[in-house]
Amino acid sequence: MTDAPTLLWLRRDLRLADQPALAAAIGEGAIVPVYVLDDETPKHYAMGGASRWWLHHSLASLDADLRAVGSRLILRRGKCDAVLAELATETGANRVHCIRHFEPWWRNAERAVAKRLDLICHDGNYLAPPGSITTGSGGQYKIFTPFWRALQQQMPPPAPLPKPSSIPAPAHWPRSERLNEWGLLPTKPDWSTGFGADWSPGEAGAHHKLNGFKRHAATYGETRNLPSVEGSSRLSPYLHFGEVSAAQVWHAVAGAGGSVDTFLGELGWRDYAQTVILQLPDYGSRNGRPTLDTLPWRTGPDAAADLKAWQLGRTGYPIVDAGMRQLWATGWMHNRVRMITASFLIKHLLIDWREGERWFWDCLVDADYGSNAVNWQWTAGTGIDANMFVRIMAPLVQSPKFEAGDYIRQWVPELAQVRGEAIHDPDEAGCRPAAYPPKIIGHRAARERALAAVKQAH
DNA sequence: CTTCTGTTAGT
DNA sequence: CTAACAGAA
């Protein structure tokens, strides 16, 4: 037994319960938990604005939770391998525990840290260790359904580890930077005023959300596609930042009955996205199917203006605008509406899916490299999972089909007074308020333009 | 045991 | 169209 503490390197695993890296470190003596704010390692994928808002509150919550069990969170900035090496020298630590991550930049960073220090990576953020589910011939799955069938054979996941009642502290704490000086919260202007009503980042907030969801998990399959109804779990940001583990969620809801299997499938998609970025690390920027590399996406001033209209929720399609405004106001968008807005950008506006991926990356509190890339490429039809570009979603059909009226009234104030079914297409119903923009392009014309473009690509 | 080939399915 | 599997070669 030596006095040398062990470093606990935290990233997207900001919890104390079911935290295998923490559990392993506790067995070795004193622990220095550290979060490194590192924008250099992810480069283009440095956290976006909404994620930074979440991170700020999550780190504050984690520090309080750590202090309640005799520890604290050390904050440092810089390139993670250099910062960890420096902290190891300062504290005399010779070992680092972390939970393994699969974003390509984290895989590189783990290799870089392992060159300088004794780094031990643990699995624990996914239902099964990504890469461990293989096809009959030993390869990695490319399609969701067979992957999910194979993953279910390995379920349930191991029972979650308990939260430690105390964490051994080092004799001397190294210095920590101050969270308030990191500038993670928006100031000029503060666009986050609408975030707090929906979210309380941190482990306690995650479990509060999970406990609330347990009560309606059995009807998830019937209500999840209705944006006017609170049918989804809203666990995505908590899962992304690791404030609750997938195994904890599984064990909490698996016995709920009803259509809870539909929800468990969504956890499966989360694991699936990791196997995709393991196989194709640049999936966030490169088409899974190179046949669509030649698709003539619109560029230039007109396309830029259309992109702006989409971002601001001023396309003249109520369901699209409601979704984009919910995203801007709260850092989150209902999943059905994510599909509709994404499809609209790609096919109606014929703008490169990477522009949408980037906007979601900046605006979502649950922005996740793997899930975001998989979902955008699925919608674009460029992904390794089959979905045809020529299948074009009709937003004005989706909107009544999923009863989005009240959702539109909530998020598009110009339309709040429109009654009945006219809400889905006030232009067509002849009751469009002057303050609400006309359609940016007609559905028929957009469809024909998209089909012509994909014909040209082949 | 490996490779080929036909069948089924793809939220 | 391709992935994945099962059964054949």
How do the domains of chain A map onto residue ranges? 1-125, 126-157+204-279, 290-456
Active-site option among A297, A310, A403, A411:
A297
- The secondary structure of A332-365 as a DSSP string is ---HHHHHHHHHIIIIIS---HHHHHHHHHHH-T
Q: Which of the nucleotides lies closest to A139 (Cα–C1')?
A: C4
| Chain position carrying tokens 């666990």 | A235
- Strand C and A216 CB separated by under 7 Å: no
- For A195, which DSSP code? T
pLDDT in tens, A60-105: 999 999 999 999 999 999 999 999 999 999 999 999 999 999 999 9
The confidence score (pLDDT) of residue A291 equals 87
Grouping H, G, I as helix, E, B as strand and the rest as coil, residue A75 is strand
On strand B, nucleotides with any atom < 7 Å from a protein CB are 3, 9-11
| Cα dihedral A266/A108/A160/A66 (nearest 10) | -120
- Which stretches within A381-440 are classed as H helix? 395-401, 405-411, 426-429
Positive or negative torsion for Cα A306, A312, A318, A324: positive
Least confident of A57-66, A300-309, A381-390: A381-390
CATH number of A1-125: 3.40.50.620
Quick: pLDDT tens for A149-174. 999 999 999 999 999 999 999 999 99
Homologous superfamily assigned to A290-456: DNA Cyclobutane Dipyrimidine Photolyase, subunit A, domain 3 (1.10.579.10)
Alpha helices in A254-334 (DSSP H): 260-279, 301-312, 318-330
Closest alpha carbon to A75 in A87, A85, A92: A87
- A119, A98 Cβ separation under 8 angstroms: yes
Per-residue model confidence as pLDDT tens digits over A14-27: 999 999 999 999 99
Q: Does A269 participate in catalysis according to the annotation?
A: yes
Find out if CATH 1.10.3720.10 is the number for domain A126-157+204-279. no
How confident is the model over A173-197, as a mean pLDDT?
A: 94
d(CA A365, CA A405): 25
Asked if the model's pLDDT at residue A457 lies above 90, the reply is no
Nearest Cα neighbor of A406 from A308, A344, A322 is A322
Peptide bond before residue A227 is cis, with ω within 30 degrees of 0: no
> Are the C-beta atoms of residues A82 and A104 closer than 8 Å to each other?
no
A335 is catalytic: yes
pLDDT of A137: 86
The footprint of strand B (CB < 7 Å) covers A 137, 143-145, 262, 265-266, 269, 378, 385-387
Distance B6 C1' – A31 CA (angstroms): 59
For the segment 125-154 of chain A, residues whose CB is within 7 A of strand C: 135-137, 139, 141-143, 146-147, 150
